[in-house]
Every structure is written in structure tokens, then in C-alpha cells.
Chain A
Amino acid sequence: MAKETLTEVIAVAETESAITKSKTSPLEWVAENGIFVFTALLILASVVFVDGFASLVNITDVFHRAAPIGIVAVGMTFVVISGNYLDLSVVAQVATSAVILIAVSNEYGLPLAMLAALLAAAVFGIVNGVAVGYFKANAVIVTLSTTYIGLGLLRYFSGGSIFFGPPDGLIREFGLGKLGPVPYSALVLLIMTIILGFVLNRTNFGFLVRSFGVNERATRLSGTNTAAVVIGAFLVTAVAAMVAGWVLAAFSNTAVSAMSQGYDFRALAAIIVGGTSVFGGKGSVLRTLVGVIFVSVLTNVLVLSGISFGYQQMALGALIVTAVTVDALSRKVAKR
């Protein structure tokens, strides 16, 4: 009964946007689908104008760039869509998962290592989820504090040392493996995108996550256990970060607590560029994937062109602002 009310609310919201969409101005269309077009254009331009971009080796490099951040980003999309801004603790989660994987598998074998990493991810997800979903605390501060706690624990227990996987182990094989120019890590990214996309769009849980982002109050009034929804969103992010940590560890066959620096904002940048709204409700996992590809290609092209780090950062910042300007402008046009 309450669920039907909720469905109505979502339906009304979607109808509204559908009505406005029926008079789609070009700007509107650009905002909605711009990222797909821009990404395609960027790839096209790079193939044509940038020497060496289209080579097999470079395509592999782009995939290597995209994979770990991308996996984190598609997972974190759940948190963003639910209207909870972002999950800063992915930094701690990725490093923890990488260190656990290599350190534990060296002593006790791979299955136990993966289980331990899963356990750590569960703890992160539940702590974050309970604080944000049940205690209704602000997600930015909560995940900031869990980052401190997580990194502190990691450094305390790992002593900050660098861990090495055996040169001929399964982990190394996975890291080196490729299907044509596509490394296994990129395949993992693709699979995760499909699975998470399915969860977000076709399951009840995904529906609740989206509705929570669209209209928090309505979702709560409909009697859903909103705390569970939020916990679920953070758990998804935690599991994604765990997988990303594995992929990262496999790529370099090493693990160290400092290896995941910057993952929080880089993942968020990819999500935003992809068109998911930071306000929640609007967006999709597919968009995040496209955003990741866009950012990875762009960075790759900048390095190929010999651009220094300072200018790279400026370009990334300008990109984020542009992406969102177009989005905001189009929404204004639509309102008229």
C-alpha cells in the first residue's frame, strides 16, 4: 500500500520531466546525452589528432587507467544517487583491501584473503551506513571520520610496509591477463557495471535507493526501512572498493597503504562528469562508466601530449565545471 504511494511519487516526478522533455530544446538534449556525445567525440578526436592514441598498447593503458577508479566509481554511484553526496572512505577501503589480499594470501592463501577483505568491506559499509542511515549524520563527515579510522588501523596493523605478491602467483597472472587489448581488470569493470546497473534499475533495492535520492521524505513516509537502504548503498560501495583494491593489487603485484590516494575525489569527478546529479535521484551506473572513460581518455591524451601535471589538474577542474554548467544551463532552459 505504501509502496504504491511511493511509486506514484516517482511516477509523477518522471512524468513531469517527460512532459518537459517533449519539448526538447537542443540544449536540453545536449545536457541529457551530452556526455555520451562528448566522449565519442573525444575518442574520435584523439584517434585522429593524437599520435599513438589508437595503438593497441595505448588502448590497454587507457583501460588500466580506467579500471580501478571505474570500479570504485560505479559502486559509489549508489551512494551519490541516494542523495548522500559521496563516500570519502573509499581511499581507506581500497588500500585495506589491497593490503589484506596480498598480505593474507601470502601466508594463508587466496580464498581466506578474499574472505578477510570481504569482512573488512562489510565493516566499512555497515559503519558508514548505520551512521548515515540510522543516525542520520552527514555523509561527508561520517566517511571522513571512517577514512581516518580506517587508514589509522591499516597503518597500525600493516606497519605501513609494502607487501609483494609472488611473481608467479594467481594474483600476478590476473593482473597481466588480457583479452585482446582489454585487460582482465577492464572486464571486471564491465561486469560490475552490468551487475550494478541491473541492481540499480531492476531490483527493488535499487528502486528504493533511487527514490530515496529523489524524495527522501516520501520514501520514509512510505514505511520503508530507509536505514537499510542507506546501509545497502554504502555496502555496495564498500564491495566495489574491495574489488577495486584487488584489481589494483593485481596490476602492480604490490600493496601499500598509500596506493589509493585521491581515489575519493577522482571517482566522484567521474560520477559527476557522467551526469549523475550530486543532489541524488538522477543518474545511472552506465553514465558513471562513460564518465570514467571520458576522464581516463582525457588524462591519457594530456600525458601523451606532454602536458605537465599542473595543467592536467587545471584541465580536469575546468572539465568538471563545464560538464556541470551545461547540465545546469539546460535545466534552466527546460524550466522556462
Chain B
Amino acid sequence: MRKSRIGLATAGLLAVAGLTLAGCATADEPAATDSGSTDSSDSATTGGETYEVYALLPQGNDQPYGTTYLPPMEAKAAELGINLTITNSEYDGDKQASECEVAVAAQPDGIILWPALADTIRPCLEAANAAGIPVWITNADVNPEDAPLTYGYSGTDSYGQGAASAEMMCELVDGAEVGIIQINGLTGNSVATLRGNGFKETIAANCPNVTILAEQPGNWNKDESQIAASEMLTAVGVENVQGMYAADDSMIAGGIDALKARGLDPKDFFITSIGNTFLGNPLVISGELDGTVFQSSSWDGENAVVGIYRAMTGDTSLGRDDDGSVLYMPNPKVTIDNATDPSVAPEW
């Protein structure tokens, strides 16, 4: 037994030693060559150069938004001669941090970062900076104190979306004393938290005559939201509720179905949400949804690439002081007046 243990230990040590030696040997070479990526650069670009860019995303084909974010992003990248390596950390902060380490080690020309959790992203930014890799933030911005570590931001303003939805609610209510129910996104998810806070704080500031009687998570799910909304209506009493808000259109569609299931007409309620999606836009046109906020996944995906391109070519530099280092996606409010306008045609 002892001999076999020694044999095994030796074999193990040899393996580890071999690995380390291999690592050290190749690490000594100057890391002049790009990452050993096997992706072949296809399209020739105007400048003749191809760039290697890592896109660290927290969603992709597992969510409808991510699904329609990716193709415009990839198309723009191909157009600008950028080779994209895309990751999906599924909103796991630890996973994204680990992917960031991998990305930095690959020494790409740039990193597009969509933080899964703004609070945990600083180490990633510092590592990228130390390695001299420009980072462009997309869709969900980092915390203000971390912004100087980035080259810029393009995307939505989740807090602002919640606020915009609240502004619409305030306008609709027009000073009356009203009770509403609130359906939130996935618990602990940063977009959900920001939108929720944006909505609540704006309501409190602009129209405190609106009282939020109950809130429950709908987890971005239409069916769960329907049940949650219905239960909240039962809990606070339907007669006390005059309005409803959800952090996205899928959930508000569930809430609207909950009203219909009780024989109530959604048109009698003040209903707002966010997204203007394939699910939400028809509801606005039909009058059941009073207002939503347009979010363009294609704008988002494209401008992420535009942003990193400008960072890599020196058009913007570290920090947020330059012009064009912050590109906010327009947050047009969509109501029945402009719902059929092609500029706010739903994308996801």
C-alpha cells in the first residue's frame, strides 16, 4: 500500500511539475501575439485590422432580451472587423468574475462588459486596467465610484426606466388618491432592484398620492406574475386597487390576465411597465396597457460594439470625461399615442 501511494504521489507530482514548467516556459515568451483564439477572422475591414474583443454578458440565448441583443451586436462587430468571444454568466456574479479573469488573461484588444452585479465588478475593472485593456460597459452601468475605471457606457438606465414608468403613472393618476400593486423582477437581480427603486422613489417624490399597497416578485415570468398579481389583489382587496406596475412587459401581461380572469377590464386601471416588447406593444395599442418604456435591444447590442471600437481606436479614453463616453439609450415613453410609430417598433 505504501509503495502504491508513493507511486501515485510521484505520478501526481510529476504531472503538476510538468504543467507548471509548461506554463512558466510559455509565459516567458513576450505576449505579443494575440490570444491563441482559433476563431478565424473572416470579413476584411476598412482599416484592414481585426480586433479581438471579449463580451462578458450575464444573459444570452436564455432570455428573450439577450436573444435579440446578440445578433445586432455580432453584425456590428463583423462590420467593424471585430472578433467577438461571448460569455454568459447567467447573472452569477462569481461566474462573471471568473470569466473576467479568463478574459484579461487572453489579452484581447478590448472588453465589453455587462455587469451581472454592479457591486462586485470593481476587481474585474482594476484587473483589466492593470493589463491595459479598455473596458466598455453596456446595458447596466457600474457604480459611480467605479466609472472612472471604464472607457464609457452605452445602454439603458434601469433606474431611469423605473422612474419613467413612475412618471407615466403619476401623469395618469393626476393627483387622485390611488392604490397600486407592484410586480418586481427576479429577487436580488440588479436590473430588478434598480427599476424597483427608480419606480418607488419617483412615486414617493412626484406623486405621493399614489400608495403602493403590495409588492411581490414576478421573476420576469408571465405565469408567476399572473398568480402573484391575483393573490395581491385578493390580499389588499380589489376595491382598493386602481393601478398596477410591473418591471417588464411580460410580467404586466400576466398581471393584466389576472385582472381579466376576475372579470375586470384592464382599461379601468392605471397600468404601466417597461420594455415595449412583442408582448407589451399590442397591449398598449389595445388600450389595456397605459404606458411602457421602449427598450431597444438592437440599439443596445450595436452600441456596445461601437463603444468598444471607439475605445480601442482611441476615440474615447479612460474615464467618463470625453464626449460620447456615455451613450444613453433613449427611453421613449410609449403610450397609445405613439405605440404604432415605427421608431418604437418592438424588438424583443
Contact = CB atoms under 8 A, between A and B. Distances in A.
* Direct contact between the two chains A and B in their complex (CB within 8 A): yes
A65 B63 CA distance: 23
A252 B216 contact: no
A162 B235 contact: no
A303 B62 contact: no
A304 B231 contact: yes
Interface stretch (A52-60, A118-126, A202-210): A52-60
A160 B60 contact: yes
A256 B222 CA distance: 10
A57 B230 contact: yes
B223 A160 contact: no
Contact of A251 (B68, B226, B228): B226
B271 to A, nearest CB: 17
Interface in B33-74: 60-64, 66-68
Contacts of B220: 258
Interface size class, chain A? 35 or more
Interface in A34-61: 51-53, 55, 57-58, 60-61
Contact of B216 (A61, A254, A309): A309
B237 A52 contact: yes
Contacts of B232: 303
B234 A252 contact: no
Given A57-B234, A300-B231, A161 B222 contact: no
Given A156-B61, A162-B64, A57 B262 contact: yes
A164 interface: yes
Contacts of B278: 162, 164
A53 B234 CA distance: 8
B221 interface: yes
Contacts, number: 93
A156 B217 CA distance: 28
B246 to A, nearest CB: 14
A162 B279 contact: yes
Given A251-B226, A259-B223, A61 B62 contact: no
A155 interface: yes
A305 interface: yes
Interface string B249-268: 01001100100011000000
B338 interface: no
A300 B66 CA distance: 32
A306 interface: yes
A303 B67 contact: no
A118 B74 CA distance: 35
Name, among B61, B222, B253, the residue most crowded by chain A CB atoms within 10 Å (CB to CB).
B61
Interface string B203-235: 000000000001011011111001110111111
Contact of A305 (B63, B233, B235, B254): B235
B64 A52 contact: no
Given A162-B64, A164-B278, A303-B228, A248 B223 contact: yes
A252 B231 contact: no
A65 B67 CA distance: 28
Contacts of A254: 222, 250, 253, 279
A159 B62 CA distance: 8
Contacts of A159: 61, 67
Contacts of A17: none
A257 interface: yes
Interface string A278-310: 000000000000000000000010011110011
B250 A160 contact: no
Given A161-B67, A309-B216, A155 B227 contact: no
Contact of A252 (B66, B219, B223, B235): B223
B187 interface: yes
Given A61-B234, A257-B62, 14 more contacts: A52-B237, A53-B234, A57-B230, A60-B261, A64-B223, A64-B230, A156-B61, A161-B64, A164-B278, A252-B223, A252-B254, A252-B257, A256-B64, A300-B231
16 contacts: A51-B235, A52-B237, A61-B227, A61-B230, A61-B234, A68-B223, A160-B64, A160-B66, A160-B67, A252-B221, A254-B222, A257-B61, A259-B223, A261-B219, A304-B231, A304-B235
